[in-house]
Amino acid sequence: MEAQDTVHEAHTPAIPSGVRSEGDALARLYDSVADDMEATNRTIVARMDSPVPLIPQLAAHLVAAGGKRLRPLLVLASARLCGYTPGPDGIRRHVNLAACVEFIHTATLLHDDVVDESHMRRGLASANAVFGNKASVLVGDFLFARAFQLMTDDGALRVMAILSAASATIAEGEVLQMSTQNDLSTSLERYLEVIHGKTAALFAAACRVGAVVAERPAAEEIALETYGTNLGMAFQLVDDALDYAADQARLGKTVGDDFREGKITLPVLAAYEAGDETERAFWRRVIEDSDHTEADLATALDLIDRRGAIARTLDHARRYADAACAALDVFPQSRLRRQMTDIARYTVDRDR
C-alpha cells in the first residue's frame, strides 16, 4: 500500500505554491474561499487514489508540482458570488465540481506535454519526462474518467452538459492548434479560435457551473460564462507572450518552447506581419520549415521585441480582461466581486 499512501501524503495547501504572496490578488481570492479550497484539495487527493500503484505515484508528482488551481478557484468563487449554500444533505456540490474541473484541466496538461514533447512543467520535470509517455496518456485518461464520475455523482444534467461540452471544445482546440502549427498564414481570428478552445472554454464552464449550482437566473449564468471566457482568453494571450518574454526560472517551463515547436501565437504573427521581407524570410525558415538552431531563438526574441509584438499581445489581453470585469456588472458590488475583477487585472500583469 505504500504507493497508494504517496498521494495522500502530498501537501495540498489552500493557497497553492503557484501563488506568490499573501498580498496579491490571487491570494486574496483564495483567502475568501479557503475552507472550500481545502475541501476541494482533499477531494482531488482522494479521487486520485487507485489500487494501481502507478496512478497515485504519478498523481503525487502532479500534486508536488503545485500550480495555481485557478480553474477550481473560479468554480468556488462564482458559486460564492451567487450565494450558493449546501443543501440539507450537507453535500458541497461546488467543491466536487471544482475538483472535477481540475481533473479535466490536469488530464489535458498530461496529454499536451506528450503531444508537445515537453520536459518541464511548473519548474519540475514533466510527468512524461519522469514516467514516460504511455503512463502520462493513460493517467490522463484516468483523470478524465474521474472527472466524469464527479459529474454523474452531482446528477444535474445541465452541469454535465456544460462540462462535457467544454471537454469536447478543449479537444477541438488542441486539434485546431495542431492544424495551424508551422502555418504563418494563420489569421488572427483562427488563432483566437484556438485559444478559446484550448483555454477559455474551461474557464467559462468553471464560472458558469458556479451559477448553476446556486440556481441563479440565466442572466447571471451568462454573465459568469462571459467573465470566464474573457478571463481565459486574457490568460492564454499572456501565457503566449510569456513564452517569449519571461524569465525561465520564474516561468516554470523552458522559454521558447512555442518557438521550437512551431506554434502559431500572437507574438509570432504580430512580428511576422510587421516585419520586412528579410524578417519574414527568417520566420518562414524557422517556423514553417522548422529549420532553426538555438541561436535563432535569440534572433526571434529580438525581432519580437523590435516589432512590439509583446506589447500588441498584452494589449489584446487587457481588452479581454476589461470585458471580463464588465461582465460582472450584473452583480451588486461586494468584496468578492472586486476580488474577481482584481483577478482579471492580475492575469494580465503576472510574470509567470
Q: For the domain that residue 70 is a member of, what is the CATH number?
A: 1.10.600.10
Mean pLDDT (the chain, rounded)? 89
Q: Please determine, for residue 23, whether its predicted confidence score (pLDDT) is greater than 70.
A: no
Confidence of residue 143 (pLDDT cuts 50, 70, 90): very high
Question: Which of residues 259 and 255 earns the better pLDDT score?
Answer: 259
pTM assigned to the model: 0.91
Q: What pLDDT does 350 receive?
A: 84
Dump pLDDT digits (tens) for 4-16.
334 444 444 455 6
Chain segment 76-128, per-residue pLDDT in tens = 999 999 999 987 776 899 999 999 999 999 999 898 888 877 777 666 778 88
Give, in order, the Cα–Cα distances in Å from 253 to each of 26, 35, 250: 21, 31, 8
Give me the number of domains the chain comprises: 1
Domain of 48? 2-349
Which of 255, 266, 256 shows the shortest CA–CA distance to 233?
266
Q: 53-67, 267-281, 300-314: which has the minimum mean pLDDT?
A: 53-67
Q: Say yes or no to pLDDT of 339 above 90.
A: yes
